Amino acid sequence: MSRILAIHASPRGDRSHSRRLAEVFLSAWQVRNPQSQLTRREVGRALIPAVNEAFVAAAFHPEPEARPLSMQADLALSDELVGELLGHDLLVISTPMYNFSVPSGLKAWIDQIVRLGLTFNHTLDNGIAQYEPLVQGKKALIVTSRGGFGFGPGGELEAMNHADPLLRTALGFIGITDVTVVAAEGEESAERTFQVSVAEAEQRLLALAREF
């Protein structure tokens, strides 16, 4: 049975274009995989706490098996989110581009799931840090919406797009290197222009639902 984890990062509800586009993919995917398991995790309209001093102290405790109960409590949500990620085969992230990057809730989720000893390991080689990804055999689909045009590969504003590279880098760091991005651009342009971009994104997502 295939298992799919959907991360919704938009603070918007029904007005979210990235959320709606992701649901187009998820619905089509479920039709083709009726026995599949789908889990939705809300990080845009639900609070994912930012990393703080207590989290850092607990996450980097020198003896993880001997963490006191207070530290275990500090990592409880992170442990849940990591287990959720590891327990699914396919990751779908829906997110708008906010100020050239991702919403704060999605960044907080990334900080919660990039965990030493769980999703990556760290060793020293002649005093130089070496990192080993621990998350293997998973694929990711990023469904995103952008206010302007030209933020994609080869676009005139590509250098201003720090959202896709951030997600690719963070996911690749823990071992998820098979990443596909589908974007709808131009929400702040003429309505017809954006509608065309959304329709193209929908068609690509429907095609991907037959392949993933």
Bind-site residues: 10, 16-18, 97-100, 145-148
What kind and span of H or E run contains 131? Answer: strand 128-133
Q: If residue 144 lies in a helix (H) or strand (E), which one and from where to where? A: strand 139-146
User: Residues of 22-38 as b/e, b for ≥16 C-beta within 10 angstroms?
Assistant: bbbbbebbbeebeebeb
Say which residues have a Cβ less than 8 Å from residue 205's Cβ, sequence separation at least 6.
Answer: 21, 22, 24, 25, 28, 143, 182
Q: Binding site for FMN: residue ranges? A: 10, 16-18, 97-100, 145-148
What is the C-alpha to C-alpha distance for residues 24 and 104, in angstroms, rounded to an integer?
24
